[in-house]
Structure 1
Amino acid sequence: MLALAWALAATAAQWQGSWGGTTDRLSTAARVIAIPFALAAGAWQGGREHRRRMTELLASTPRAPLAQLLTAALPLACALAGAYLVAAAGALLACAPYASAGGPVPTVFAGAALSIVACTLLGHVAGRMMPWRLTAPAFAICGYVLAATGGSRSSSGLTDLAPSSLRLLGDGYLPLWWYPLLSALWVVGLAAAAVLAHAARRRVTALLPLAAASAAAVLLVHTGDGMVRDNPLAHRQVCDESTTPHVCVNATHPGLLPEATRVLSGVTARLKGVRNLPVRFEDLPGPPREDEAELPMLAPFGWWSVRGKVNDPEWYARQGAGNLVRRECEETPSDRRVQATDQAVLRWLAPDHAGRDLRERSVASARQRGDTEELAQYRAEDRAYAHLAALTGDERRSWLGRYFATARECSPDASEVPSL
């Protein structure tokens, strides 16, 4: 439980506020930490009687071999599964204050806990059959191999047979509720078959759980990515229509709308009353429409936003302003006056200290190299910016309206872009 808690706490900024991110992190923790530990601990427990020279004594007792095995293995298996569930509950409670849409899928954690129990039993049987001290570390290594297999996204469906192999990249996808239980059935069936084949009086009974495991494995291999469906919320958005342009965020995290609106308020306030602007900042999969601009990235969490707050508001505002000014163009316009005009508009809409410091270093570097052409471009940008800042409110709104009529064109006619 401490190992799981440490791994989750160390990466909390990347999943707090996202149910999908939390679920994915808990599945990864089960696959990378809990499963190898369960295999190793089960193998160590399974070889205990042999190391203590108790096998003959236990064989003389009236208790059946199956009862002896389960009495020794189940407490450890339940303790490990319980530790995982406690860590999962803690992570979900830590996510809840910052998550604003959707919810967890409980069967994911139930399936992971069942897989941990099954892997403990598999390790226990292996420890009884191979009661050596190296069996436990060898099984731990096997667990890490399974973790690497489950974490890969190869085209082969065999990767879906690894315990706790669920991968959710953000909030755009949801697992089918029965998929984690089916994945656990495959491992539980194998464990039950191994236990019955090793300790049951009628070993033929192992065929029943083996058949169930085989059926689950066939379904997992053939269904593959079909076990995960699109999240319908990921194709919707919620908007604040009090700004110009409107600010919209994806419906998977609507709680970030006030923060995005606040951070972009400097940009939208300077654009109030300006014509020819995009209608909204959109936050949907795929490129924006002609009358929209793309919202700067809020996800994945931990990079651009943490616990409902934008990491770098100045950078975010500058990215939002940049998405209004020839954002989709791969190359800058060839006309240097148009380049200077674009930079002047961007500086006026979203001034930021980091960009100013970088520009000062670039100017110093150009001066040191003696690059007169680059220095001339910087001076042109400074003149354009000073002129734009010196305009009156009505003059600036009128000029910006004419400018934004051409701001979406990658190679505009220089004569159509208003000069400063």
Structure 2
Amino acid sequence: MTTTITATPKAAPHPLRAEALRGFPPLAGAAVLLLLGALLPASADTWQGDWAETADHLHDALVIALPFAAAAGCWQGGRERRRRTEELWGTAGRAPLTRLLVSALPVALWVAVGYLLTVALTTLTAWPYVRGDHPHLSPVPGDTAALMAAALLGHVVGRAAPTTLAAPLLGLAGYAGLGTAVYQDAVSPLNPAVPAVDGFWPVWWQPLALAAWTLGLAFAVTLAYAARRRATALAPLAAALAAALLLSTGNGPWRPDPLAHRQVCDTSTTPAVCVNARYSGMLPQVRAALSGVTGKLHGVHNVPVRWSNRGGEPRAGEAALPMLTPFGWSVVRGRMTHREQYAWEAVAALRGDCGEESERMLLADEAVQAYLAPDPQQRDFDDNDAKGDAARRAHLRASQAARAKLAGMAEERRRTWLSAYLAARAACDDKAVPSL
């Protein structure tokens, strides 16, 4: 008896899989990763250690990433023209829309993958330095959808445009258009690359509405170009317009960040030290930077109740704490730098603003500043005054004498003097400033 074995032919891979794993699409995703990977590290000092800044920089990178995604899609869309295989491709049995999507979707997906990998790597590099808050990933879905939409729209342009220069021209036009749209109030809410507002985050439906706006518009254009029944483009177009209306009306798709308006305080010192809750982990470093000042103010009356880090005018009984942000100066990667400068600025805030000062008040200010937290560059300033005209030299001699007298006082007498000085300063009363 003879047994016949019939080999089952292996199923051919789906064209979409072949397009996604070979050729240009994976390179487009790698290019997005490399492009943003070259852009973001240059400003790492300003966002590493701050989740809000990290999210803002990732979102702001769309100004570069969106035109690039559109140019990548456009380049893929003009592939058959460059190969001169348009007529041959037109004889394929698949419908025009299917052929377009098989070619366009891999680029859109890989561009999204490149951006998501950038988000993941940026988050990992920021994590070790964060001193409060939590990752802000809510803009990521809407931003990813916008990149995919840009690639789809670019693909349609690449198929329709009769020139091989369409891709770079589209990228340049997209970059110019996005930058211009930011300053147009009528279209800014619909611009996916509009800069984030500090202290505000999107409401839960904003990424969904942004995805519906951008992808709906992209699919509407795609269907209008390639579908057999172009009326089917009306459905995604209606979704896009509904999303645009939602984004543009009402109170807008943004909500205040609750942490941005809350203070975290250390009340073990006088004045108490309070920082913004977004940077609560920085409180020990701020307290340490001000420890020399608070130690010298122990037992002194009329000091403000606290230093606050609100970012605006301090409330009654408060003094403005020097800002921790923008990162990259006083704070770099979760560590405070220039602690002496920070303490000097904090003491300057204790005095308040009384406008034009008399010579008596000015000499007292300089003496108090030099005693509590001297300017790190004070020696340079003194050297410059010593080389100045007679008035500057005379003021320098008087200032140095006042500083020396305050520093040489007995502890109890100095506390009494500082209490009277702070009371006079709070009332902006030159005559009440105690003499030195």
TM-score where L is the length of structure 2: 0.89
* Match of residue 67, structure 2, among 21, 36, 39: 36
- Of the candidates 160, 165, 172, which is equivalent to residue 141 of structure 1? 172
| Offset, 1:383 | 0.7
Specify which of 410, 413, 421 is matched with residue 392 of structure 1. Answer: 410
Give the AA of the match of 1:235.
H
2: CA distance, partners of 1:107 / 1:285: 24
1:186 aligned partner = 213
Structure 1 residue ranges without an equivalent (≥5): none
Change (3 A) 1:252 1:406: same
1:85 maps to amino acid? L
CA distance in 2, matches of 1:318, 1:413: 22
Q: Partner of 1:316 in structure 2?
A: 342
Mapped contact 1:150–1:160 kept (Cα < 8 A): no
- Report if aligned partners of 1:267, 1:350 keep a CA contact under 8 Å in 2: yes
Residues 304 and 319 of structure 2 are in contact (CA less than 8 Å); yes or no, is this contact kept in structure 1?
yes
Q: Deviation string for 1:91-114 (max 9, x for gaps)?
A: 122222333443334341111111
Q: Which of residues 352, 372, 383 in structure 2 aligns to 1:360?
A: 383
Counterpart check, 1:233 vs 2:243: no
Partner residue, 1:163? 192
Moved over 4 A (4+): none
Q: 1:212 to 1:285 in 2, by over 3 A?
A: same
Distance 1:309 1:175, change over 3 A: same
Pairing 1:256-405 to 2, within 5 Å after superposition: 256-325=282-351, 327-331=352-356, 333-334=357-358, 336-364=359-387, 366=388, 371-405=389-423
Letter in 2 for 1:348: Y
Cα distance in 2, alignment partners of residues 418 and 15 from structure 1: 46
Q: Distance in 1 between matches of 2:182 and 2:124?
A: 25
Structure 1 counterpart of 2:278, which letter?
Answer: T
Secondary structure in structure 2 of the residue aligned to 1:274 = coil
Taking structure 1 as the reference length, the TM-score comes to 0.92
The answer to whether the aligner puts 1:119 opposite 2:150 as a matched pair is yes
Do residues 419 (structure 1) and 428 (structure 2) align? no
What's the CA shift string for 1:209-251, capped at 9, x where partnerless? 011111112222224x621111122221111111111111011
Structure 2: gaps spanning 5 or more residues? 1-32
Q: Distance in 1 between matches of 2:186 and 2:208?
A: 17
Aligned residue number for residue 4 of structure 1: 36
Larger radius of gyration: 2
Indicate if the aligned counterparts of 1:23 and 1:168 stay in contact, CA closer than 8 A: no
Q: Does 1:27 align with 2:45?
A: no
Distance 1:3 1:328, change over 3 A: same
Q: Which residue of the other structure, out of 44, 62, 78, is the alignment partner of 2:109? A: 78
Task: Report if the CA contact (8 A) 1:324-1:408 is conserved.
Answer: no
Identity %: 47
Provide the residue aligned with 1:17 in structure 2: 49
Q: Are 1:129 and 2:160 counterparts?
A: yes
After TM superposition, the structure 1 = structure 2 runs for residues 195-274 of structure 1, keeping only pairs within 5 Å, are 195-223=222-250, 226-274=252-300
User: How far is 1:174 from its partner?
Assistant: 1.6
Distance 1:297 1:200, change over 3 A: same
Name the CA distance, whole Å, in 1 between partners of 2:258 and 2:217: 35
Question: Which position in structure 2 is the counterpart of 1:409?
Answer: 427
Out of 119, 123, 129, the position equivalent to 1:92 is 123
- State the partner residue of 2:6: none
Q: Distance in 1 between matches of 2:234 and 2:186?
A: 24
User: Is this contact kept in 2: 1:45–1:127, CA < 8 A?
Assistant: yes
Check the 8 A contact 1:151/1:167 in 2, yes or no: no
**Preserved contact between residue 236 and residue 251 of structure 1 (Cα < 8 Å):** yes
Contact 1:278 1:292 in 2 (8 A): yes
For each residue in 1:314-357, what CA deviation from the matched residue of structure 2 results, as whole angstroms up to 9, or x when unmatched?
111100111112x32332x22x1221111111111112332321
Whether the 8 Å CA contact 2:131–2:334 is kept in 1: the answer is: no
Kindly provide the CA deviation profile for residues 1-33 of structure 1, in whole angstroms up to 9, marking residues without a partner as x: 111011111111111222221111111112x22
- Measured in 1, the distance between the counterparts of 2:125 and 2:178 equals 25
Distance apart, 1:285 and its partner CA: 4.4
Secondary structure (helix, strand or coil) at the match of 2:343 reads helix
What one-letter code is carried by the residue in structure 2 that aligns with 1:215? A
Q: Distance in 1 between matches of 2:116 and 2:177?
A: 21
Q: Measure, in 2, the Cα distance between the counterparts of 1:42 and 1:8.
A: 23
Note if 1:60 corresponds to 2:85.
no
Whether the 8 Å CA contact 1:42–1:76 is kept in 2: the answer is yes
Q: Distance in 2 between matches of 1:151 and 1:13?
A: 25
**Alpha-carbon distance in 2 for matches of 1:58, 1:93:** 44
